[in-house]
Amino acid sequence: MDVTCFAQHRRKVHNAAVTVQPEFTMSSLIPGQPSLVAPGVWRILALNPGMMTGPGTNSYLLASDQGLVLLDPGPEDAHHADNLRAAATEIGQPITCVLVTHTHRDHSPNAALFGAVRRLGPLPPDDGLQDEAWQPDQILADGDCLSLGEGRTLRVIATPGHVSNHLCYLLEEEGVLFSGDHLIQGSTVVIAPPSGSMADYLASLRKLEHESIQVMAPGHGDLIIEPMDYISHTIGHRLRREEKVIRALTQHPDSQVSELVPGVYDDVPVFLHGVATMSLLAHLLKLEQEQRARRDAEERWVLL
């Protein structure tokens, strides 16, 4: 699989219509069972359901002229690795390349179980939350393109926010966006500073509004079949949450993050408030970056 830079050929949403009209398949999320979700694209669900992962992590196999590309191999799990190999055998091609959207420990560690297969993706940031063992053979950057053969191109779109090294991959001819944890089906994602940034996250969402996306294949959950509406809804949701942060600070100045959570996330179950604290801090840091709020030495926040 060749890696080249085609940034000068980026296609905008108002350009000519996509010439291929693929069929996208909504299917049951059954761990270990390969599902054809788009032409030449199979999803295999990992065996790691949970509060933070939903049904589990989606791994994808993409057909290319040099074998299968494994996108997001998932958490380190020999059983899931065996399921991926079995799916490759059923498809009739070997796994020759591993890509990752980011290096959280539910997405990249299983790459270690695939031996000398070529690895492409971002470097892990140093925040204590990453798969430190992940080291790509080639570091990918915004605008890089992977030729899958037969006129199929996978383009890298840098989408920092959920984490600073997050990448999405757009299968351009079919309009399939592999969104990793930038956008997932059925829920919003946690933005955890310091490597996560709410300002970057919103900028990355707006960046995707200018792409020709027909469907999203997320890191968790089923296909997102109205992607542009989903992006717009997510931007609106985050900005409405920001308004609640501002109201809470207006009513309760000199508050610490933990004191603001119950009011800002009064629509979220209490057992999720610990997780919500991370995204709330990301909202506050965005306001600080915009010089709309500040904190003192005791991490008490006020509006400016």
pLDDT, tens digit (0-9, with 9 covering 90-100), for 249-290: 999 999 999 999 999 999 999 999 999 999 999 999 999 999
Q: 147 and 125 in one domain?
A: yes
Instruction: Determine contact, residues 1/147, Cβ cutoff 8 Å.
Output: yes
Q: Which residue has the higher pLDDT, 149 or 18?
A: 149
Q: 71 and 204 in one domain?
A: yes
**pLDDT at 175 > cutoff 70:** yes
Pairing of strands 58-64, 41-45: antiparallel
Q: Note whether residue 280 is domain-resident.
A: yes
Which residue range is the domain that position 250 belongs to? 237-303
Q: CA 109 from chain center: how many Å?
A: 16
pLDDT per residue as tens digits for the range 78-111 = 999 999 999 999 999 999 999 999 999 999 999 9
Instruction: Determine contact, residues 217/24, Cβ cutoff 8 Å.
Output: no
| CATH number of the domain where residue 21 is located | 3.60.15.10
pLDDT per residue as tens digits for the range 38-92 = 999 999 999 999 999 999 999 999 999 999 999 999 999 999 999 999 999 999 9
- Phi, psi values for residue 25, rounded to 5°: -115, 115
* The pair of three-digit structure tokens given for residue 245, joined into one six-digit string: 């942060």
Q: Note whether residue 231 is domain-resident.
A: no
Instruction: Determine contact, residues 34/61, Cβ cutoff 8 Å.
Output: yes
Longest dimension (CA), the chain: 62
Instruction: Determine contact, residues 90/34, Cβ cutoff 8 Å.
Output: yes
pLDDT per residue as tens digits for the range 200-257 = 999 999 999 999 999 999 999 999 999 999 999 999 999 999 999 999 999 999 999 9
pLDDT per residue as tens digits for the range 176-199 = 999 999 999 989 999 999 999 999
Q: 162 and 85 in one domain?
A: yes
> How far apart are alpha carbons 191 and 16 in whole angstroms?
35
Find the mean pLDDT for residues 122-146.
95
Q: Note whether residue 159 is domain-resident.
A: yes
> How far apart are alpha carbons 76 and 98 in whole angstroms?
14
* The pair of three-digit structure tokens given for residue 46, joined into one six-digit string: 């990992």
Q: What is the mean pLDDT of the chain?
A: 91
Which SS3 state, helix, strand or coil, does residue 270 take? helix
Q: 105 and 34 in one domain?
A: yes
Q: 118 and 175 in one domain?
A: yes
> How far apart are alpha carbons 224 and 205 in whole angstroms?
15
Which residues, listed in sequence order, are joined to residue 36 by a DSSP beta bridge? Answer: 42
Domain count, the chain: 2
What does each C-alpha distance from 77 to 46, 57, 240 come to in angstroms? 8, 12, 39
Q: 126 and 243 in one domain?
A: no
Q: 114 and 85 in one domain?
A: yes
Q: Note whether residue 83 is domain-resident.
A: yes
- Phi, psi values for residue 138, rounded to 5°: -140, 125
- Phi, psi values for residue 133, rounded to 5°: -75, -15
* The pLDDT of residue 29: 84
Q: 90 and 41 in one domain?
A: yes
Q: Note whether residue 171 is domain-resident.
A: yes
**pLDDT at 2 > cutoff 60:** no
Q: Note whether residue 80 is domain-resident.
A: yes
Q: Note whether residue 230 is domain-resident.
A: no
- Specify the pTM: 0.90
Q: 193 and 139 in one domain?
A: yes
Q: 154 and 285 in one domain?
A: no
Q: 262 and 214 in one domain?
A: no
